[in-house]
Structure 1
Amino acid sequence: MVHFTSFSILALALLAASVPVQADGYHRCHPASGSGTAPTVAATAVFQPGQYSLGSGLDGAGVDAQGALFVAHNGLADPSHTITKLTNIDQPSIFFTAPSQLTGAFGDVRFQTIKTGTGNQTQQLYITDLKTPRVFALPAASTSVQPDPNQFRVFCQDAQMMAPYGISVSRQGNVYIVGQKVVSTTKVGDGDLWLCNSQGHPTRLDTLTRPNGVDATYQGDTLYVAESTLTNGAVSGAKVWRYQLDPATGHVVVDAATKAPVKTVLVDFEMLDKTGSTPSYALVTDVNNNVFVSRNALNKVVKLSPQGQVLATITVPTSTISSMALGGSDGKTLYIVGTCAGSTTNGCVYSWTNDAAGSAWQMQQ
C-alpha cells in the first residue's frame, strides 16, 4: 500500500540452513546469477480515465471468488469510505459506502470465502482503517449485489496497532496486517505486523521499521512482508522478508532460544540491483509461491521465485503503484493499480497475464 503523502516447513528449514548468516543475524537468500536474463514485459492498460474516474487516491485492491477487482479509497464518491467494483474491468460501480458517521479512511481490502455446513458459502470483505487502526468485516451473500450496510462491523482492533496499510487473509482464515507511523525518519518499532485470528483476536507478531505490502502463501506456511527505512524522508534498505508460519495457529514460528520471529530475507534490493532506495508498496503471491513486488519509482513490478531469483520484470507507465491483485476468471491476471502516469487526479489499472493463479483468488475457490 502507498502513503497518501508519497507512494513445505522442511523446505524452508533446509533453505534457511543453506544460506549464510549475516552480521545482523538474519539469513539472506541471494538471487541466482542468471537472474539478469529474466524477461522484461509491458503491462496492458485496462482502465484509464474517460467517462469514469477512479481518482488519485486509488489504493487497496482485492479480488472476489469470481476474480472481479475491487478497489478502495477512490474518487467516485467519498474517497475515504467507498469500495468500488470494476465490472468487466472498465466499468466501475459503487459496491459499498460506509455509514456516514464513520470517521475512518479505507485502506487495503481482501476477500474470504466462508463455507457453511450446509454446503452454502458466503464472502466476507475485510477492510483496513487508516485513521483509527482497525479492520472492518463486511459479509456479502453475493458480490453481484450491494451488501447490507447494517452488517458492517469492526472485526479486529488494538490500541497499539499502527495505521494498517497492508492486509492478507490466509487459507485458514487468519488475517494479517502491516502498519506504520507516518514519520520522516523511521526506526524499529515504527512499524508492526499483526495477526487477527478467525475470531478477530489480535496478536502482534513483530515490530519493523516501515512495512507495507503483505501476503500469505496459498499453503498458509509462509508470509511475505515488504519493508524499507526512511531517513529524513529518503528511502533505503528496501527488502522483502519471509516469515515462517504455523498453519495450525497462524502465528509466526519463533526461535526456541531467542523467542524472535523466524524470518529470512527473500530479497535485499540493494544487494540485488542497487535499488534499495526505491520503496515497494504492493506485494502479492501466486500458488507457486512466486512473489510480485512493486518497484515504484522504477515504473515496474518484479516477479521473484521462492529463492529470490528474478523471473520477470513487468513495466508500467506509472511510478506510483499503490496495490496489486491476481484475479480474473482464472486468477492469473495481475492487476496493477495506482495513479495514472503524468496525472495527479486520476487512477489507472494495468494488467499482465501470469502462468499461475494468485494465492488470494485460489483460497476462495
Structure 2
Amino acid sequence: MNKIVANLTLIFSLLVNTSFSQEKPESLFTSSVLTPVKSFTSGIEGPGVDKNGVLYAVNFSKEGTIGMVTPDGSASLFIELPAGSIGNGIRFNKKGDMFIADYTKHNILKVNMKTKAISVYAHEPGMAQPNDIAIDDNGRLYASDPDWKARTGKIWTIDKNGNVNLLETGMSTTNGIEVSPDNRTLYVTHARQVLAYNLSKGKISNKRILYEFADFGMDGMRCDVEGNLYVTRPGKGTVVKLSPQGTVIREITLIGKKPSNIAFGGKDGRTVYVTMQDQGNIESFRADLPGREWRMSTR
C-alpha cells in the first residue's frame, strides 16, 4: 500500500512539474494592434500616458483633437484644441498636467486634466514648429524644432514659468527628443543620427553622436528606467532599442511601416505604445523594463 501511495505521489509531482515547465513566459517585444486602423488620422503623434494609465494621442478622427485610449484599446475624443491649433508631442509633469506641442501656432499648450481647460503655456514666434517635447524630473520642457522646408532644426527649453530659451541652432531637421533617467543627458534625433548632450540645469554641452543609422530615418523616442533608448524608425517599420553607450540591443518589428512616436505605460510601465501614421492607429508590445517617464509620473 505504501508503495502504491509513493508511486502516486511521484506521478503527481511529475505532472505538476511538467505543467509548470510548459507554462509559456510572457511574450516580450511582439507588437499587436491596440486601436482600430484609421481611428486616428495619418497625423497621429504624441503619445503620452497619464498617472492613471490612460493613453493619449493627437488627431483622433480629425486634425486638431486629442484622443484618449483605455488599456483595452477603446478610443474616444478627449478634447478639441483651439481653432487652428494642431498637436504633435505630448508629455505629463509630476502634477499630472498635460503639455502639447502645438506646431501650427508655435505654442506649448497646457491642459488641466480635471477641467479640460486649455491654456498657452509658452509661445515662441522664433520656432518653425515645436515638434516633439521631453520633460525632466524638475518639470523643464525641451522641444525639438524642425524646419522641414529649409532642412534645418533647433532645440529649445521651456522653464516652469513658461519662459522659452534657445539651446541649439544650425542643425539638420531635429525630431525626437528625450531626457535620460538621471537627468544628465539630453538625446535628440536629426538626419540619421541620435545625438547626446550633457545636460545640467536646463543647459547643454558636449554634443556627440550616440548612434548613426545607415538607412531610413528616425522619429520619436523614449528611455526606459535603465537609460536604454527606444527609437521609432518610419519607413522600416521598427523600433530600435539602443543602450546608453550607443549599442543596438534589439530591433522590434511592427505591423505597420511608419511609426511616429512611442511611450511607456500600462499597470507596470512595461507596455510600450507606438503611434502608426500609415495605419492611423496604435500598436503595443511588452518590454522588459518600465519607462523612465512612467516611473517619474507615478512616484
| TM bin (shorter chain) | 0.7 to 0.9
1:173 counterpart = 2:139: yes
Q: Could you tell me which of 202, 205, 209 is aligned with 1:250?
A: 202
State the alpha-carbon separation in 2 of the partners of residues 135 and 41 from structure 1: 33
* 1:69 positional shift: 1.2
Question: 2:125 maps to what in 1?
Answer: 159
Question: 1:289 maps to what in 2?
Answer: 227
1:80 counterpart = 2:80: no
1:362 aligns to what SS in structure 2?
helix
Task: Give runs of ≥4 in structure 1 deviating > 3 Å.
Answer: none
- Structure 1 spans left out of the alignment, 5+ residues: 1-39, 115-122, 142-146, 229-237, 253-260, 341-345
1:239 counterpart = 2:161: no
Question: 1:356 maps to what in 2?
Answer: 289
Q: Could you tell me which of 20, 33, 42 is aligned with 1:56?
A: 42
Is the CA contact (8 Å cut-off) linking 2:44 and 2:276 kept in structure 1? yes
* 1:42 positional shift: 3.5
* 1:201 positional shift: 0.8
2:288 aligns to what SS in structure 1?
coil
Is the CA contact (8 Å cut-off) linking 2:272 and 2:286 kept in structure 1? yes
2:235 aligns to what SS in structure 1?
helix
Question: 1:113 maps to what in 2?
Answer: 94
Instruction: Determine which structure has the larger strand proportion and give its number.
Output: 2
Is the CA contact (8 Å cut-off) linking 1:294 and 1:301 kept in structure 2? yes
Structure number with the bigger relative contact order (C-alpha 8 A, sep ≥ 6) is 1
Q: How many residues align?
A: 270
Question: 1:211 maps to what in 2?
Answer: 174
1:128 counterpart = 2:101: yes
2:293 aligns to what SS in structure 1?
helix
Q: What is the TM-score of this pair, normalised by structure 1? A: 0.71
* 1:68 positional shift: 2.0
- Higher-Rg structure is 2
State the alpha-carbon separation in 1 of the partners of residues 46 and 232 from structure 2: 14
State the alpha-carbon separation in 2 of the partners of residues 80 and 41 from structure 1: 30
State the alpha-carbon separation in 1 of the partners of residues 244 and 48 from structure 2: 22
Report 1:251-290 matches (<5 A).
251-252=203-204, 261-270=205-214, 275=215, 278-290=216-228
AA matched with 1:245: L
State the alpha-carbon separation in 2 of the partners of residues 160 and 239 from structure 1: 24
Is the CA contact (8 Å cut-off) linking 1:287 and 1:362 kept in structure 2? yes
1:156 aligns to what SS in structure 2?
strand
* 1:226 positional shift: 0.9
Cα deviations by residue, 1:239-266 (Å, 9 ceiling, x for unpaired): 10011111xx2221xxxxxxxx322211
* 1:41 positional shift: 5.0
State the alpha-carbon separation in 2 of the partners of residues 313 and 173 from structure 1: 31
State the alpha-carbon separation in 2 of the partners of residues 103 and 43 from structure 1: 34
State the alpha-carbon separation in 1 of the partners of residues 148 and 210 from structure 2: 25
Is the CA contact (8 Å cut-off) linking 1:178 and 1:212 kept in structure 2? yes
Is the CA contact (8 Å cut-off) linking 2:60 and 2:77 kept in structure 1? no
State the alpha-carbon separation in 2 of the partners of residues 148 and 240 from structure 1: 35
Is the CA contact (8 Å cut-off) linking 2:29 and 2:287 kept in structure 1? no
Calculate the aligned-residue CA RMSD, in Å. 1.7
1:262 aligns to what SS in structure 2?
strand
- Provide closer, same or farther for how the CA distance between residues 89 and 182 of structure 1 changes in structure 2, counting only shifts above 3 A: farther
Question: 1:232 maps to what in 2?
Answer: none
Cα deviations by residue, 1:193-215 (Å, 9 ceiling, x for unpaired): 00001111111100121011111
Is the CA contact (8 Å cut-off) linking 2:174 and 2:190 kept in structure 1? yes
Is the CA contact (8 Å cut-off) linking 1:61 and 1:325 kept in structure 2? yes
